[in-house]
Structure 1
């Protein structure tokens, strides 16, 4: 499975309906061929200001591409989508190898250069957060995180909006 994992600096793209690219974030990267996306908050001051630092902020699987109505490349929509924003689990609690790659080794975007452990964690993360935990592989630490099951269920289904900060190219 080709999974795009990337660091985010702000919220608002994708939108609560699962449209990735409405504010032209990630530009040409959205046009790449992938089967799923994992958006994670960066760890700098801007992601901290939005409360997304170090968190899994959204996941999507089975994309389809359509032209942006204003001509800003493609808008990607997902068959399965979950938006967490600042309510997302810490990446390090669900996928420590992937977190190490993104934060300690400074990856901004991953698509085809995953280690076996990182790929396994990324696939398991998608399955956990999109509700397909029956096909989980063992990837080390328990997939549970610090929230209770009830809190996780609420966070998984919640739609977080309001903190959209359009990309600078559109302002």
Structure 2
């Protein structure tokens, strides 16, 4: 994380070892992708080692399109921590929350979350890609994504 930008989007709000494996992997893939061609090669290997070649290439292409779309349409730079850092910044957590929400089947909510990273004109498209990315990573890590129909969701949720 660079010092001048730490205030907006870089504040530590989580740590990798407290996240689900697929979410931590998503953060690492984002960090690697942002490092350039060498990092992108390492992130792509995660997909190639876990999926059949054609499926891996399709999934990797979706991850790249989604990430590129977010970074190219963001109103400010996306702040991330270093690849080896255990801290997870607020921008990275928003990225994870977007992918989690979309892969849970809540695309309208995911589109709203996407507007925290990009303009509203791109939010729905990003939410659709995020759903695919999340479903793929959950599959790779052996976790099923069980989309809940918004119509079947309870209207009131009790937290305590």
Which TM class, normalised by the smaller chain length? Answer: 0.3 to 0.5
Identify, as 1 or 2, the structure richer in helix: 2
TM-score calculated relative to the size of structure 1: 0.35
- Scaled by the length of structure 2, the TM-score of the pair is 0.36
| The structure with more strand, counted as a fraction of residues | 1
